[in-house]
Amino acid sequence: MHSLSPRYFALIPAAGVGARMQASGPKQYLPLAGKAMLSHTLGAFAGAASIAHSFVVVSADDGLIDAVVAPFDAHASVLRCGGVTRMDSILNGLQAMAGTVSDDDWILVHDAARPGLTPALIEQLIDTVGAHPVGGLLALPVVDTVKHAGNGDGGAASLRTVPRDGLWLAQTPQMFRFALLREALTSAREGGAADAITDDASAIEAIGLVPVLVEGHPCNLKVTLPRDIEIASMYLAAAASTPTQP
């Protein structure tokens, strides 16, 4: 199926349990700046004019998602087809979306635990990728000195310094056309390479294609450890007081 004017859809895998957060429930529902973490993500996509619709993939027994999505029901839908892994959830979500989207439509896959995403960053990604034949992702160039660690007498030891030229830290959204993304992820799973696929771009790279890197912003950090909550809260507070934040 091909569309004359490709559309843009958000796909948010949110079936994880957030084990490293040491919380009593999935981290996407933890309170952050007055509302569930996932609410900030949904709000960013709802505020981006280019996004036609957002799809949130959750587990079949998720009892919290409906209340979180309710304020965005005109912009977002829930897909109760979450899998064991992030890749499974994305592939299941793509399959569920197949009747709604076209092969050439763009899918922006975004981590539910990146609440600092803004509409401006979404539009920046879309505008920069443009009609690129592969797609692209938000990322940050590495600015700190990078060390390769090993085991030492006192714990981790610095074995050597790694040149940082050309190194980037991947963020999300990662944006690829529907048919290409499904093909790449399916190829990785069926080829037994799923463990090597740490994000959607790595699946695209594995089939020999080269995505575009679009410079993102530190506000779009992934909340993984308990200490990340405070950092994310600071960025969200700054964005609330300065609507022109990226």
> Domain segments of the chain: what residues?
8-241
For the chain, how many residues are written?
246
- 151-195 pLDDT per residue, tens: 876 678 888 999 999 999 999 999 999 999 999 999 998 887 777
Q: What is Dmax (Cα atoms) for the chain? A: 62
> What is the reported pLDDT for 23?
52
Helix axes of 86-97 and 178-190: crossing angle, nearest 10 degrees: 140
Q: What is the mean predicted confidence (pLDDT) over 136-157?
A: 88
> What is the reported pLDDT for 156?
81
Residue 238's pLDDT band (cuts 50, 70, 90): confident
The pTM is what? 0.92
SS (H, E, C) 12-72: EECCCCCHHHCCCCCHHHCEECCEEHHHHHHHHHHCCCCEEEEEEECCCCCCCHHHHHHHH
C-beta of residue 112 within 8 angstroms of C-beta of residue 28: yes
**Residue 240, CB-side half-sphere exposure with 13 Å CA sphere:** 12
- 14-50 pLDDT per residue, tens: 997 654 454 557 889 999 999 999 999 999 999 999 9
> What is the reported pLDDT for 195?
78
- 107-125 pLDDT per residue, tens: 999 999 999 999 999 999 9
> What is the reported pLDDT for 1?
44
In terms of Cα–Cα distance, which of 172, 180, 198 is closest to 134? Answer: 180
Hey, which CATH number is domain 8-241, 3.40.50.2300, 1.10.490.10, 3.90.550.10, 3.60.15.10? 3.90.550.10
> What is the reported pLDDT for 4?
65
Query: CA-to-CA distance for 5 and 212, rounded, in angstroms?
Result: 21
Q: What is the mean predicted confidence (pLDDT) over 210-220?
A: 98
